[in-house]
Amino acid sequence: MFAFTYHRPSSVRKAAALAASVADGKLLAGGHTLIPTLKQRLAAPGDVIDLGGIPDLAGIELRGRTLSIGAMTRHAEVAASPVVKEAVPALAYLAGLIGDPAVRNRGTIGGSIANNDPSADYPAACLGLGATIITSQRRIEADDFFTGLFETALEPGEIITRIAFPAVKKAAYVKFANPASRYAMVGVFAAKRTADIRVAVTGASQSGVFRWTEAEEALKKRFAGRSLDGLSLPADDMISDLHGSGEYRAHLVGVIAQRAVEAAAG
Amino acid sequence: MTVTRIGEAVRRKEDHRFITGKGQYTDDIFRPRQTHAYFLRSPHAHARIRRLDTAEAAAMPGVVGILTGKDLAEDKIGDLICGWMIHDIHGQPMKMGSHPALAKEKVRYVGDHVAVVIAERLDQARDAAEAIEVDYEVLPAVADLATATDATAALVHDEIAGNLAFEWHLGHKAMTDHAFERAHHVTRLDIVNNRLVPNPMEPRAAIGEYDSGNDSFTLWTTSQNPHVARLVLSAFVGIAPEHKLRVIAPDVGGGFGSKIFIYAEETVCAWASKRVGRPVKWTSDRSEAFLSDAHGRDHITTAELALDERGKITALRVKTRANMGAYLSTFASSIPTYLYATLLSGQYDIPAIHAAVEAVYTTTAPVDAYRGAGRPEATFVVERLAEAAAREIGMDPADFRKKNFIRKFPHQTPVIMTYDIGNYRASLDKAMEIADVKGFNRRRRQSAREGKLRGLGYSCYIEACGIAPSQAVGSLGAGVGLWESAEVRVNPTGNVEVLTGSHSHGQGHETTFAQLVSDRLGIPIEQVTVVHGDTDKVQFGMGTYGSRSGAVGMSAIVKALDKVEAKAKKIASHLLEAAEADIEFKDGKFSVAGTDRSIDFASVALNAYVAHKFPTSEIEPGLKEGAFYDPVNFTFPAGTHICELEIDPATGRTTICNWTAVDDFGVVINPMIVEGQVHGGIAQGVGQALLEGAAYDRDGQLVTGSFMDYAMPRADDLPSFKMGFTETKCPSNPLGIKGCGEAGAIAAPAAVMNAITDALGTEAVPMPATPQTVWKIARTRAAPRAAE
């Protein structure tokens, strides 16, 4: 780790102002990507702005049919929340699959989404549920938010404050974990809210989380696993590494998507 | 306060310390004025160092010193050694490449040691290391074991032709070949025993401290055998004479073999502390551990089994190529030779065996002992062959084994070993009953209905523990004897300190050894303390590996206890005014036979030290006895493990449903600790079969260099194990103990792979059988066995 200046602002406004005023700042949420990167000397920010002291960024609440989760909410809180379990049970289930207890008690939903790791779980939920990402500046639809590997629509200095999810019961997340890292090798979030059917896939694609529109179309006829029979994705677009070739991942997306739809329809 | 008996599942005495965070590991030790070492490691698998410039780095803040191979040479510090001499098929000594603690002309694997920076703080040392200028002439890597001896391969050590450390063989070639010519059936398998990274929870660490007043060194280090480390560092590396070097291995968090060896970092910390005049501390981070801890296994083998028309094994023929890595580590040469080929008879009566082994250098981390060390590789060969042969000739795999088991003991195998005792049929029968093998077909049909493939696999393993006797291992090339020492110190108030040359790094010696003393002397276990891991306290000892602490270490304690009892009886005879021959010792009391006169152990101890009531001209005061114990034979734990698993052919994921382990460890001192040892071993064996595999790319870069890519077994990868014991007492040691530390790791890989190949209906499944690997095979199998 190289030396940096540490800040712990008390409001989103102050944090955003700080982020705008320093040349080479990094926002710190749960720190599960940033801290290891710093320790390995793969990043050398001049300033680290810790969001842990901002009360506005915490909390889970249900208003009408909208579930709002503060950006600094830990995975363990989402997994255990009776409010989340009632409004979007699949989201609580997903949060309980992230990492291990130590990770879940530090890692945050905002950090995960802002980092947009191609194997992270939360981006699949955001896209699969049609969430809205609320920032220090604006509201961004999930469909417009995840723009590529580790890339999002966030502008420099823009801070995620909350994520708004529609309350959806007919939804499920199925994760096929990498045997080593336990990140998603393929994770599929499938949801049906009246006519809106979404199938979001994480872990598999070289361009990060994506909606499998072909599958969504097929499910409009009948929301059942069988509707996906015969559908396939091109292996060329998939991540290929030590643990799985593009071909294997493309195949897994089909299998896991069927299982997710069956679980959601269940 | 009661006596703890042998056989009781008493809780571990050391756990209070460990689970309340009071363990004292090397990294927990802070010496006054200590400095921190950071090793600059080679980023290349193979390169010549054209120029090494430390001038700029040396001037950086906090830097206390930067040392290189040149400084080592200047101080006449010797190379690291391999302590087991193998003579090759031509009678020539193995070819040992030079192994300096800091590189001289060349680096030979990614992670090899180029220089050490010593600074006030670790980050300063690291900053300076990054400023060292190294001009490398990058040479071709030799990363692939299969092609490492090709004429086109670069030479890891310029002077060693063909990268061949040695060619070696064991057994009778002509007899074996003859049996194969006459065989009714031959089963042949190509086997890769995958390379593993040991990954003990505590990484390696060292603190070297030089005392200029006494011209002596102290080295705190993560060692399984501190006395052996001292011997090597003194006699071969030349850090200091033995009486001027104290090695302390305090609490050590797991070793699995990887902390037997004498490594570059520990050596450098000791030596450098004199150079810089301050204590030098180094703690490996996990990335360094992946790169520089000695790895395990890594064999390519062709194995054949010859059968007669009734399914009786007539011969076994094995050709193995073993990866040694870039240098011969401390015991590397013994692993694929005397610890491997000598176990190729398994539990079977095999008239002829021949094993040919090539030990090969590559530009990868050194490979040495890892839990089981050669014996898991042997069991894997034998048990995969047994299962495949039974299937090929249409015989039930359990019946095939029963037909071929050794039944009479002692049994001389064609590969050196004389098995003293065993009952292989008993453990197989018991395991089959616990595993409900009878109900397997029903469970398999149920799985098939759910679209899953279910398989069952046996592993009837054998291991050889407590390598001995010293004379025999010496004749096979060992540089040391493999006895053990013990000292029993009875204090005047009757409590006892046991000093042992065995080292505990997770095995629970502080409990089992104390349990033995409690049982024998009739004193509460709380009144016994076990002391180990310090060359200034324990006179000498060979350390802990090869499941030897029970069979050898405890036998030494028994010998010392015998002497304590004999002397105490003499003293008691004076106190009770009776003839020594009439004194009986039982349940902590010395009594005069046939009378009600008695005296307890503590009173005898007190009298031994006050020495008021016996003639010191006949009996010396005090009650302290030492013993050295050299076993007469190896011990041969054996048993049967049965793995039942289910494969999801759509994803390739394998789930272990049932695991049965029936082991014959001879007499068990503490069944809870023994079961724990087996559990851990199975986890590591399942890890090898399903998850773990160290991989280098063509350029010799370690691609599985972190837990992101190297899959360690976790609790949810495993079922709850069903355990059972059978017992044949070991005849060659006083307690009848055989050893249990490695059994799980030895048995498990074959059990898993026999079950997977059963489920998939093909023998060609490599380890680790990851989901992708299994999926690829499952989708090409038109009619898997589950559909039968």
- Please state the rounded mean pLDDT for residues B589-617: 96
Cβ burial B193-215 (10 Å sphere, 16+ → b, else e): bbbbbbbbebbbbbbbbbeeeee
CATH number of B296-467+633-787: 3.30.365.10
Q: How many CA atoms lie within 13 A of B55 on its CB side?
A: 2
- Please state the rounded mean pLDDT for residues B198-225: 98
Pairwise CB contact (< 8 Å): B708 & A180: yes
pLDDT attached to residue B1: 62
What is the end-to-end Cα distance of chain B in Å, rounded? 61
pLDDT attached to residue B494: 96
* Number of residues written out for chain B: 788
List, in order, residues 6 or more apart from A61 with CB less than 8 Å away. A67, A68, A83
For B703-742, how does the pLDDT look when each residue is reduced to its tens digit (9 = 90+)?
999 999 999 999 999 999 999 999 999 999 999 999 999 9
Q: What is the ipTM of this complex?
A: 0.95
Distance from CA of B703 to the nearest CA of A (A): 8
Question: Does residue B571 carry a pLDDT above 70?
Answer: yes
Which residue ranges of chain A lie beneath pLDDT 70?
none
Domain B483-629 has CATH 3.30.365.10: yes
For B97-139, how does the pLDDT look when each residue is reduced to its tens digit (9 = 90+)?
999 999 999 999 999 999 999 999 999 999 999 999 999 999 9
- Please state the rounded mean pLDDT for residues B429-434: 98
Where residue B786 falls among pLDDT bands split at 50, 70, 90? very low
Pairwise CB contact (< 8 Å): A180 & B123: no
- Determine what percent of chain B is predicted with pLDDT higher than 90: 96
Instruction: State the Cα torsion B578-B582-B585-B588 to the nearest 10°.
Output: -30
pLDDT attached to residue B9: 97
- Residues B455 and B439: their CA atoms lie apart, in Å, by 12
Pairwise CB contact (< 8 Å): A242 & B707: no
Domains in chain A, ordered, with CATH?
5-53 (3.30.43.10), 55-166 (3.30.465.10), 171-265 (3.30.390.50)
- Please state the rounded mean pLDDT for residues B453-462: 98
Q: How are strands ordered across the β-sheet holding A60-63?
A: A60-63, A66-70, A160-166, A132-135, A139-141
Domain B18-23+34-139+204-283 has CATH 3.90.1170.50: yes
- Contacts B653 to A, Cβ<8 Å: 176
pLDDT attached to residue A194: 87
Locate the domains of chain B by residue range. 18-23+34-139+204-283, 296-467+633-787, 483-629
At B431 the three-state DSSP class reads helix
pLDDT attached to residue B468: 82
Pairwise CB contact (< 8 Å): B770 & A181: no
Question: Does residue B785 carry a pLDDT above 80?
Answer: no
Residue in B695, B710, B772 closest to A245 by CB:
B772
pLDDT attached to residue B784: 45
Pairwise CB contact (< 8 Å): B651 & A252: yes
Question: Does residue B781 carry a pLDDT above 80?
Answer: no
- Chains A and B form CB pairs within 8 A to the count of 41
Distance from CA of A38 to the nearest CA of B (A): 12
Q: Are B10 and B2 in contact (CB under 8 A)?
A: no
- The whole-chain average pLDDT of chain B stands at 96
Burial, B76: exposed, middle or buried (Cβ in 10 Å; 0-12, 13-18, 19+)? exposed
Pairwise CB contact (< 8 Å): B708 & A181: yes
- Residues of B in CB contact (< 8 Å) with A are 123, 126, 287, 650-653, 690-691, 695, 703-704, 707-712, 770-772, 775-776
Q: Do domains B296-467+633-787 and B483-629 have the same CATH topology?
A: yes
Distance from CA of B709 to the nearest CA of A (A): 5
- Please state the rounded mean pLDDT for residues B523-539: 96
Where residue B467 falls among pLDDT bands split at 50, 70, 90? confident
- Residues B110 and B103: their CA atoms lie apart, in Å, by 12
Question: Does residue B787 carry a pLDDT above 60?
Answer: no
Q: Where are the beta strands (DSSP E) in B682-730?
A: 721-725
pLDDT attached to residue B788: 40
Pairwise CB contact (< 8 Å): B695 & A242: yes
